[in-house]
Amino acid sequence: MYLSKLMAVKKTLEIIYNVKRTCEKEKIALDGANMRVLAEDIQVLNDVPPFDRAAMDGYAVIAEDTRSSSESKPTFLEVVDDIGAGYISKYVLDKGEAVKIATGAQMPQGSNSVVMEEFTEDLQGKIKITNSVDTHENVALTGEDLIKGETILKEGQILGPHHLAIIASSGYDQIKVFIKPKIGVIITGNELIEPSEQLKPGKIINSNKYALKALIEDSLANPSIIHSDDDLDMLMNIFEDFTARYDGFITTGGTAIGKGDLIIDVINELGEVLVHGVAIKPGKPFGFGIINEKPIFMLSGYPVAAAVQFDMFVRNYILKMQNITKKFDLIKCIAGSHIYSNKGKCNIIRAKLDKGIVNPIRTKAGINKSIVLSNCYIILDEDIIEVNEGENCNVLEYRTLKIC
Amino acid sequence: MYLSKLMAVKKTLEIIYNVKRTCEKEKIALDGANMRVLAEDIQVLNDVPPFDRAAMDGYAVIAEDTRSSSESKPTFLEVVDDIGAGYISKYVLDKGEAVKIATGAQMPQGSNSVVMEEFTEDLQGKIKITNSVDTHENVALTGEDLIKGETILKEGQILGPHHLAIIASSGYDQIKVFIKPKIGVIITGNELIEPSEQLKPGKIINSNKYALKALIEDSLANPSIIHSDDDLDMLMNIFEDFTARYDGFITTGGTAIGKGDLIIDVINELGEVLVHGVAIKPGKPFGFGIINEKPIFMLSGYPVAAAVQFDMFVRNYILKMQNITKKFDLIKCIAGSHIYSNKGKCNIIRAKLDKGIVNPIRTKAGINKSIVLSNCYIILDEDIIEVNEGENCNVLEYRTLKIC
């Protein structure tokens, strides 16, 4: 009797993304910026390398001096200096002269190439050269890696090891990143207790708490988790406190459809419920609302449903709060067996993908271990009733959901 | 003249993996275990759920009572109790009776199924039921998710959000994980300075430090970085200190081939150099050695070469120190243009893969930004001279190197 009111997934996503939240920026030390999100464009402060430098150990020479050099007709040059990396030769090289040079050292004035050490023979004060080099051979030229003023990375970049190296080379040891969104999680359910060997009658272990904390961490945000009794006053107090302190919220439990339920009541009281009930399986009792313009994602108490709801509706929004746009990366795979679907709902079926063939993991909704036994979802849109063995279907691999 | 002495990549990997190092275990709180490596098998302490529970809001009934129930021929049952999740009914259900029950609540004795609320009508003290339910319908049965004693996760598992949830459900709030390996990094090079707008003559910015710290973090290990002058005594002191404190080391710079070089000298003095010079391009001056049975990876000062050496030789070893076995996941792709290779060396070519077509990024070895502009390596074995446009070649995507 309430099925007709379920909202389509597409419409649900439209409503969610219509609530805009972007985070503030902060300046942090570059060496703590792995997996942070860049909040500025990076412009190169100086040419890299900042001078012509030796790319090999050997002798800095004037290329023209070696032009006709060979094993049978070697060239002899006078060694006028010896410089290691980080040091400067005061010599200005003249025809017939060479400076012993280490990889990375600045090329002496007058020189334009490096003869590798293994093509030379040290004759005490002189060297014998048995090959010829071209102009700029074995030399890293000024600005060949990065040019002063060049924009090398853009705002929104998720920073990995090599981005940090490039930013350092560009001249920065501090950068602006987006402040990690603070996500408050409110777990409801009087039946939930902490893990322990001694169970109490009627109680079950609160496992959502652990999954959600880690899911939020993996979404590059900071979680804070609280467990509330199914009590209206307690929940009202928690929400008022959380609204002041966090950028967004997730709740679990208390969103049953077709009757009044606790979380829905609280949010209707303090703010506005924009979505309640989505044409998705599992995960139908999903809700979305706002309090003081802050988004609230209302997930099921069931871990499998909550996982699907997080993957479909929450993760990419938390990323968007940090200016990361991530889309679902659906691929076409072959059904390894017949798949039934509930028409009128988007069916999100835990499955195992192996070499292009995908097989549903057939379990009841309460089988939480199915999440760790599967590696993808088969996603069947509202209008699909079944997929025959051998036919194509849309698959979303879990690994593509991860941002790190 | 020294080329014949370069060691093949395969032999190099054999020597490296012959040096065994496994880490100690530690017990930590489950809610801090995201992205840690499990160091024990997890056995379920109690059935999950620990009792038959309602999977829907509705009425716990005896299925047989509803057998012939329909819209035209409803069943009427007496409501004898009302229980929320986390509470227990003291009633033992008899024929003709029902208990109002919330999702997650323990099924009252005598009942065996749940009629969903929407198929009932509340008649104050009685309910009218318009459908029939099967035995166990809308009931989550004892142990249907996890069975007491079952091994649900194995040592070596990298823990993600849903693993943590399953471990919590299994009854644990603390678990044994492998202690993160402590990796000491010694950066050499008198020419290296910290990032800053004001450059000093002859100096360049130390970018390897930033990349290596983050690469080690991404390998789930703890980095400690020091910058040493190219000075034998200073290096000897650092190595002796590091040997006592860290599980393994990485050095950069000072490994030139065909002559004595600083790092090689130090390690020969304090321990043993097992590899020096590998038939790989870039990255030829790679070295590997041991001091007090602890592994030392000697990388080039050049960022691109150091990145390739880390990817080929270091990351998977650091993971192995935590009992994670990771292999390179090579895929066959089509060359988008002609690719030249140096015969006799394993060529690791930075490239861009797009829709199955791979194109080399053609730059000199010193172009560090090529790492962030590329998304994969083309890997050409020692015996390959060239790959023609349209032919297949082996590709290693950067994203498959990451563990998280």
Look at residue B2 in the predicted model and tell me its pLDDT: 40
Q: Locate the chain A residue with the closest alpha carbon to B106.
A: A202
Termini Cα distance of chain A:
43
Kindly report the number of other CB atoms within 10 A of residue B330's CB atom. Answer: 14
Q: How far apart are CA B312 and CA B326, in angstroms?
A: 12
Element (H, E) at B233: helix B232-245
Token digits of residue B332: 């066959």
Whether residue A164 and residue B230 make contact (CB cut-off 8 A), yes or no, is no
Q: How far apart are CA A350 and CA A369, in angstroms?
A: 11
Q: How far apart are CA A227 and CA B286, in angstroms?
A: 53
CB distance A105 to B191 below 8 Å: yes
Look at residue B23 in the predicted model and tell me its pLDDT: 79
Look at residue A259 in the predicted model and tell me its pLDDT: 61
- In tens, the pLDDT along B126-176 reads 999 999 999 999 999 999 999 999 999 999 999 999 999 999 999 999 999
Residues of A in contact with B107 (CB under 8 A): none
Whether residue A169 and residue B368 make contact (CB cut-off 8 A), yes or no, is yes
Do strands B113-116 and B58-61 pair parallel, antiparallel, or not at all (unpaired)? antiparallel
Whether residue B371 and residue A194 make contact (CB cut-off 8 A), yes or no, is no
Q: Which of B210, B213, B304 to mutate to test the interface with A (most CBs of A within 10 A)?
A: B210
Whether residue B173 and residue A153 make contact (CB cut-off 8 A), yes or no, is no
Calculate the dihedral angle through the C-alpha atoms of A331, A333, A339, A344, rounding to the nearest 10 degrees: 20
Element (H, E) at B167: helix B161-169
CA-nearest of B243, B226, B244, B257 to B296 is B243
Enumerate residue ranges in chain A where pLDDT < 50.
1-3
The band of B266, judged by pLDDT with boundaries at 50, 70 and 90, is very high
Residues 6+ apart with CB under 8 A from A354: none
Q: Residue B260: is its pLDDT beyond 70?
A: no
Q: Locate the chain B residue with the closest alpha carbon to A197.
A: B171
Q: How far apart are CA A404 and CA A160, in angstroms?
A: 9
Calculate the dihedral angle through the C-alpha atoms of A127, A128, A130, A134, rounding to the nearest 10 degrees: 40
State the amino acid at position A190 in one-letter form: N
Look at residue A391 in the predicted model and tell me its pLDDT: 97
Kindly report the number of other CB atoms within 10 A of residue B259's CB atom. Answer: 10
Whether residue A86 and residue B162 make contact (CB cut-off 8 A), yes or no, is no
How confident is the prediction for chain B on average, in pLDDT?
A: 93
Residues of A in contact with B45 (CB under 8 A): 197
Whether residue B164 and residue A106 make contact (CB cut-off 8 A), yes or no, is no
Whether residue A165 and residue B211 make contact (CB cut-off 8 A), yes or no, is yes
Residues of B in contact with A161 (CB under 8 A): 210-215, 218
Token digits of residue A8: 């389509």
CB distance A104 to A52 below 8 Å: no
Residues of A in contact with B259 (CB under 8 A): 57, 117
The beta-carbon contacts of A298-301 under 8 Å, at least 24 apart in sequence, are A298/A250, A298/A251, A298/A254, A298/A255, A298/A263, A298/A264, A298/A267, A299/A208, A299/A250, A299/A251, A299/A252, A299/A255, A300/A252, A300/A253, A300/A255, A301/A188, A301/A189, A301/A208, A301/A252, A301/A253, A301/A254, A301/B103, A301/B104
CB distance B395 to B360 below 8 Å: no
Angle at the Cα of B265 (from B261 to B268), degrees rounded to 5?
140
Q: Which of A158, A369, A370, A399 to mutate to test the interface with B (most CBs of B within 10 A)?
A: A369
CB distance A140 to A55 below 8 Å: yes
Reported as half-sphere exposure (CB side, CA atoms, 13 A), residue B235 has a value of: 26
Residues of A in contact with B145 (CB under 8 A): 366-369
Reported as half-sphere exposure (CB side, CA atoms, 13 A), residue A76 has a value of: 4
Q: Residue B252: is its pLDDT beyond 90?
A: yes
Of B87, B103, B153, the CB nearest to A202: B87
Of A34, A172, A214, the CB nearest to B161: A214
The CA-atom distances, in angstroms, between B195 and each of A29, A48, B230, B397 are: 11, 12, 20, 30
Q: How far apart are CA A155 and CA A159, in angstroms?
A: 10
CA-nearest of A375, A251, A400, A244 to A316 is A400
CB distance B312 to B280 below 8 Å: yes
B217: distance to nearest CA of chain A, Å? 8
Whether residue B160 and residue A106 make contact (CB cut-off 8 A), yes or no, is no
Residues of B in contact with A109 (CB under 8 A): none
- Burial letters B263-285, b for 16+ CB under 10 A, else e: bbebbeebbebbbbbbbbbbbbb
Of B173, B371, B402, the CB nearest to A194: B173
Calculate the dihedral angle through the C-alpha atoms of A159, A165, A168, A170, rounding to the nearest 10 degrees: -90
DSSP bridge partners of A395: A331, A378
Q: Residue B397: is its pLDDT beyond 70?
A: yes
Residues of B in contact with A106 (CB under 8 A): 201-202
pLDDT average, residue stretch B278-297 = 95
Q: How far apart are CA A293 and CA A110, in angstroms?
A: 66
Looking only at Cα atoms, what is the longest distance across chain B?
98
Q: Which of A99, A115, A204 to mutate to test the interface with B (most CBs of B within 10 A)?
A: A204
Look at residue B363 in the predicted model and tell me its pLDDT: 78
Q: Locate the chain A residue with the closest alpha carbon to B30.
A: A210
Q: How far apart are CA B357 and CA B168, in angstroms?
A: 45
Whether residue B202 and residue A106 make contact (CB cut-off 8 A), yes or no, is yes
CB distance B95 to B114 below 8 Å: no
Look at residue B3 in the predicted model and tell me its pLDDT: 42
Looking only at Cα atoms, what is the longest distance across chain A?
98
CA-nearest of A265, A10, A51, A37 to A148 is A51
For the ranges A249-258, B24-33, B116-125, B302-311, which has the lowest average pLDDT?
Answer: A249-258
CA-nearest of A7, A38, A24 to A313 is A7
Whether residue B164 and residue A210 make contact (CB cut-off 8 A), yes or no, is yes
Q: How far apart are CA A313 and CA B305, in angstroms?
A: 42
Residues of B in contact with A46 (CB under 8 A): 197, 199
B289: distance to nearest CA of chain A, Å? 23
Q: How far apart are CA A346 and CA A278, in angstroms?
A: 9
Element (H, E) at B13: helix B9-17
- Burial letters A317-333, b for 16+ CB under 10 A, else e: bbbbbbbbebeeeeeeb
The CA-atom distances, in angstroms, between A110 and each of A80, A97, A101, A120, B384 are: 13, 10, 14, 20, 40
Judged on CB neighbours under 10 Å (0-12, 13-18, 19+), A68 is exposed
Q: Is the peptide bond before A201 cis (omega within 30 degrees of 0)?
A: no
Q: Residue B1: is its pLDDT beyond 50?
A: no
Of A172, A368, A372, the CB nearest to B195: A172
Element (H, E) at A140: strand A139-140
